[in-house]
Structure 1
């Protein structure tokens, strides 16, 4: 089968919902930290449970477990996407995650400098402020 075909099977990763959820929860905890995930789980209600399941299975269990990009690279991509969309609370969470994934403050700064060109200076300016606060909290 042609590996570029849309019919090609995924090259790795969990293949059923329960396995995807378990793999996703493991990555989610590794990237975001147990404390954050436990808080999110504690806030889950019957109304929000399907959403929590969706992001655990698909964002974390399907995308973050794929081969081809390491977690540092994925963090750089997520930071850029969050700057582009102006999702500042999520950006703060993912600055923490980027540090957990091994990015330095200097590398995060470079992501935001690059984002300034492609996402706009005002968005990058806000991102620098968010990241500076998070990094100060992590150092303190």
Structure 2
């Protein structure tokens, strides 16, 4: 089945899916950087069907952790919970797994950020993944 939507429209749909609707929705042509990002990163890269969104997000979270980008990691963590891709325990486990590879100093800065994201997500009453064994 052919998708007749423009690359911009496909990218906008994909970013909404990836970030559970938590995006700034700018009209096409408002900011050239945004247009290019939607048309390439989201319409062409994220929209490929070889890896699912969860797998892509885990790869991105590892890269972000290695670069010590706490705010960007929090965006990904929040989206992973809202989209029911990861449980709170799985988020915590990613940090344990990443620390030896991305560096303890980079990952240590994400531990409290992770707990903050989980706490906010719970306080907002977001539904948890059905297999969540976290219990706290």
Scaled by the length of structure 2, the TM-score of the pair is 0.78
For residue 10 of structure 2, the aligned residue among 23, 39, 44 is 23
| Match in the other structure for 1:37 | 23
Report the CA distance between 1:19 and its aligned residue. 2.5
Q: Which runs of 5+ in 1 are unaligned?
A: 1-12
For residue 69 of structure 1, the aligned residue among 9, 28, 51 is 51
Q: Which runs of 5+ in 2 are unaligned?
A: 124-136
From the two aligned structures, give the one with the greater helix fraction: 1
Q: State the distance in 2 between where 1:45 and 1:136 align.
A: 37
| Match in the other structure for 1:89 | 71
Instruction: State the aligned residue count.
Output: 121
For each residue in 1:13-71, what CA deviation from the matched residue of structure 2 results, as whole angstroms up to 9, or x when unmatched? 97x9x62221111111112133x323x639x995xx11111221122111111111111
After TM superposition, the runs of 4+ consecutive aligned structure 1 residues lying more than 2 A away are none
Q: State the distance in 2 between where 1:118 and 1:25 align.
A: 33
Name the Cα RMSD after superposition: 2.4
For residue 104 of structure 1, the aligned residue among 75, 87, 96 is 87
Scaled by the length of structure 1, the TM-score of the pair is 0.76
Q: State the distance in 1 between where 2:84 and 2:40 align.
A: 19
For the 8 Å contact 2:74–2:113, the answer to whether it is kept is yes
